[in-house]
Amino acid sequence: MNYINEAKKILAKMTLTEKIGQMNLVDSSIEKEEELLKLASEGKIGAYLTYERDTSSTQAHKKLIEASLNSGVGVPILFGRDVIHGHWTMFPIGLGMAASFNAEMVEKAYKIVAKEASDNGIYWTFTPMMDIARDPRWGRIAEGFGEDTYLSSRLAEASVWGLQGRNREDLGNSDRILSCPKHFIGYGACEGGRDANTVEISRNTLLNIYFPPFVAAIKAGAGSIMSGYHDLNGEPVSASKYLLETLIKKVCGLDGFIVSDAGTTNHLTNYRFAADRKDASGIAANSGIDMDMMSSCFVENLEALVKEGKVSEERIDDAVLRILAIKLRLNLWNRPISSLTSASYKISPEVYETAVDAARQAAVLLVNKDSVLPLSKDIRKLYVTGPFTDAVKELFGTWVIDGIVDGVDSISDALKKKLPDTDIKFNTSRFTDEVLNNSEHSDYVLFLGGESPLRSGERNSIAHLNLPDGQEEQIISFSNLGKKVILVIVAGRPLNLTRVLPYVSSILYVFHPGTGGGEAIARILTGEVEPGGRLPVTFPRSEGQIPLYYNSIQQRKARACQLKYIDITEKPLFNFGYGLTYTSFKLSNIRIQSNSIKIGESAKASILVTNTGEKSGEAVLQCYIQDCVASLLRPAIELKGFKRVQIPYGESVTVEFVLGNAELGFYNQEIDWIIEPGKFKVFIGLDCENTIETEFNLVIN
Ligand code: NOJ
* Residues 447-502 pLDDT 10s: 999 999 999 999 999 999 999 999 999 999 999 999 999 999 999 999 999 999 99
> Could you give the CA distance from residue 294 to residue 298 in angstroms, rounded to a whole number?
10
pTM strictly above 0.95: yes
Judged by DSSP in three states, 316 sits in helix
> Could you give the CA distance from residue 294 to residue 265 in angstroms, rounded to a whole number?
9
Ligand 1: atom nearest CA of 180 is: 7
> Could you give the CA distance from residue 644 to residue 399 in angstroms, rounded to a whole number?
29
* CB of 292 closer than 6 angstroms to any ligand 1 atom: no
Mean pLDDT of 591-597: 96
In terms of phi and psi (left: phi > 0; alpha: psi -120 to 50; beta: otherwise), the region of 123 is: alpha
Nearest residue (CA) to ligand 1, atom 2: 261
Mean pLDDT of 167-188: 98
Maximum C-alpha span of the chain: 81
182, 265, 292, 460, best to mutate for ligand 1 pocket (most atoms within 8 Å of CB): 182
Polymer length in residues for the chain: 701
Are 517 and 448 contacting, i.e. CB atoms less than 8 angstroms apart?
A: no
Backbone angles phi, psi at 70, to 5 degrees: -90, 0
Please check the confidence at residue 31 and state whether its pLDDT lies above 80.
no
Question: What's the pLDDT score for residue 56?
Answer: 74
* CB of 131 closer than 6 angstroms to any ligand 1 atom: no
Please check the confidence at residue 557 and state whether its pLDDT lies above 90.
no
Across the chain, mean pLDDT equals 96
Please check the confidence at residue 126 and state whether its pLDDT lies above 80.
yes
Q: Work out the pLDDT band at 701, boundaries 50, 70, 90.
A: confident
> Could you give the CA distance from residue 473 to residue 448 in angstroms, rounded to a whole number?
14
Nearest residue (CA) to ligand 1, atom 9: 262
Mean pLDDT of 23-40: 90
* CB of 82 closer than 6 angstroms to any ligand 1 atom: yes
* CB of 182 closer than 6 angstroms to any ligand 1 atom: yes
Ligand 1 centroid–CA 474 distance in Å is 37
Please check the confidence at residue 416 and state whether its pLDDT lies above 80.
yes
CB-count burial class (<10 Å; 0-12, 13-18, 19+) for 147: buried
The DSSP secondary-structure symbol of 257 reads: E
What proportion of the chain, given as a percentage, has pLDDT over 90?
Answer: 92
> Could you give the CA distance from residue 416 to residue 518 in angstroms, rounded to a whole number?
11
Q: Work out the pLDDT band at 330, boundaries 50, 70, 90.
A: very high
Mean pLDDT of 547-559: 93
Please check the confidence at residue 232 and state whether its pLDDT lies above 90.
yes
> Could you give the CA distance from residue 526 to residue 376 in angstroms, rounded to a whole number?
8
Are 132 and 147 contacting, i.e. CB atoms less than 8 angstroms apart?
A: yes
Question: What's the pLDDT score for residue 338?
Answer: 76
Per-domain boundaries in the chain:
349-545, 585-699
Question: What's the pLDDT score for residue 343?
Answer: 80
25, 82, 224, best to mutate for ligand 1 pocket (most atoms within 8 Å of CB): 82
Q: Work out the pLDDT band at 194, boundaries 50, 70, 90.
A: very high
In CATH, what is the architecture of 349-545?
3-Layer(aba) Sandwich (3.40)
Ligand 1: atom nearest CA of 182 is: 5
pLDDT digits (tens, 9 = 90+) for 649-675: 999 999 999 999 999 999 999 999 999
- 585-699, what's its fold? Immunoglobulin-like (2.60.40)
